[in-house]
């Protein structure tokens, strides 16, 4: 250490990189919690409320975490459960007669349309054989064995292709 620095500066030089790394990890965790919350609630405000409540639960129950390396998954589960609770509470707040069913139906249709467009774009980005495989499996409901028999390939090949494609689609969706 440098002898010209005060003791406080010397300690800050030692501790600062650790805090920066920890701050980055916490920010990354917060961002992933927001993504989870947004997928479970209807608006940004509720998502932020869910994440805030999840942080409170995490901090109060941190001793129940058995494995420290599973913190991310644990936090995401808590966030998803909190968001679902917020959804249930918001449904209970309004009696059925007080809701505007037209607005909710319009919201659902708009959201469904957006999701369908994203799915269509993802399917169009796949090659025709892989697209057909996914359509047979998930749209038409054929079993792996039926697809393998029709395409005259081993069932393991069908399962592997489906698995690889689902993994690739998940990666594309996360960007």
Confidence at residue 69, expressed as pLDDT on a 0 to 100 scale: 79
- pLDDT tens string 28-73: 888 888 888 888 887 788 888 888 998 888 888 878 878 877 888 8
With beta carbons less than 8 A apart as the criterion, state whether 48 and 62 touch: no
Confidence at residue 44, expressed as pLDDT on a 0 to 100 scale: 80
> pTM, whole model, 2 decimals?
0.44
Other Cβ atoms less than 10 A from the Cβ of 149: the count is 13
Residues contacting residue 38 through CB under 8 Å, at least 6 positions apart:
44, 47
pLDDT in tens, the chain (175 residues): 455 666 656 555 554 555 566 777 878 888 888 888 888 887 788 888 888 998 888 888 878 878 877 888 888 888 888 988 887 777 655 454 455 555 555 556 666 777 777 778 888 888 889 988 988 888 888 899 999 999 999 999 999 999 999 888 888 777 6
152: left (phi over 0), alpha (psi -120 to 50) or beta: left
């Amino acid at each position: 250490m440098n002898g010209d620095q005060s003791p406080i500066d010397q300690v800050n030089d030692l501790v600062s990189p650790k805090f920066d790394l920890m701050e980055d990890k916490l920010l990354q965790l917060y961002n992933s919690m927001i993504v989870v919350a947004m997928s479970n609630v209807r608006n940004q405000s509720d998502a932020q409320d869910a994440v805030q409540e999840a942080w409170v639960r995490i901090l109060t129950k941190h001793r129940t975490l058995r494995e420290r390396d599973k913190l991310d998954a644990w936090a995401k589960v808590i966030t998803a459960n909190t968001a679902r609770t917020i959804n249930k509470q918001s449904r209970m707040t309004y009696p059925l007669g007080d809701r505007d069913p037209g607005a909710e139906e319009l919201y659902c249709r708009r959201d469904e349309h957006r999701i369908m467009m994203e799915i269509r774009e993802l399917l169009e980005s796949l090659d025709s054989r892989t697209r057909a495989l996914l359509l047979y499996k998930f749209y038409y409901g054929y079993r792996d064995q039926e697809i393998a028999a029709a395409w005259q390939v081993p069932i393991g090949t069908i399962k592997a292709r489906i698995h690889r494609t689902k993994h690739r689609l998940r990666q594309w969706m996360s960007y």
